[in-house]
Amino acid sequence: MSASAMNKKQCVTCNKSGGILICDGCQQSFCGKHVIEHRQELAGQLDNIMQEHDLLQQDLLQPSSKKDALLERIDHWEKYSIAKIQMAAETARTTLKELLEQSKERLAKKFPDIAESFAHLVKLMIFQRT
C-alpha cells in the first residue's frame, strides 16, 4: 500500500472511503449517509440529557412528597421522644419526692426517741457528777 492509500480515511460504519466527514466530538470518520445517522444519534442523546436535566431541576426546585413524609416522620419522632422524656422526668421527680417524704417521716418518728435518749444521757451525766 502506498502512503496515500494508508492515509485515506474510511467510514467507521461501512468502511467506504468516499465523501468522508470527521466528527469534531468523537474524531471518528463517517460517509455522507452515516454522518447523518451519527448526528441523529447524538441529537437523541442530547434530548435524553436535556430531559434528565429538566427532571432533576424539577426535583430540586419542588419538594417531593417523599421528602415531606420523611420530615413529618422526624417531627413525629421528635414530639414522641420529648413527651417520653417529659414522662420519665415526671416519674423521677415523683419518685424522688416520695423517697424524701419517707425519709422525713422516718426521721420524724425517730426524733422523739433520739431526743428522749439524749435527755436520759444528760440526766445520767448530771447524776454521775453529783
pLDDT digits (tens, 9 = 90+) for 31-66: 989 999 999 999 999 999 999 999 888 877 776 666
> What end-to-end distance do the CA atoms of the chain give, in Å?
144
SS3 68: helix
Q: Count of residues for the chain?
A: 130
What is the reported pLDDT for 1? 26
Reply yes or no on whether the pLDDT at 3 is more than 60.
no
Reply yes or no on whether the pLDDT at 129 is more than 80.
no
74 dihedral zone (left: phi>0; alpha: psi -120 to 50; beta):
alpha
Average pLDDT over residues 103-121: 90
What is the reported pLDDT for 17? 85
Name the pTM for this structure. 0.43
Average pLDDT over residues 6-21: 82
| Dist. CA 82–CA 84, nearest whole Å | 5
| Dist. CA 118–CA 122, nearest whole Å | 6
Average pLDDT over residues 80-100: 98
| Dist. CA 62–CA 103, nearest whole Å | 62
Reply yes or no on whether the pLDDT at 116 is more than 80.
yes
Reply yes or no on whether the pLDDT at 2 is more than 90.
no
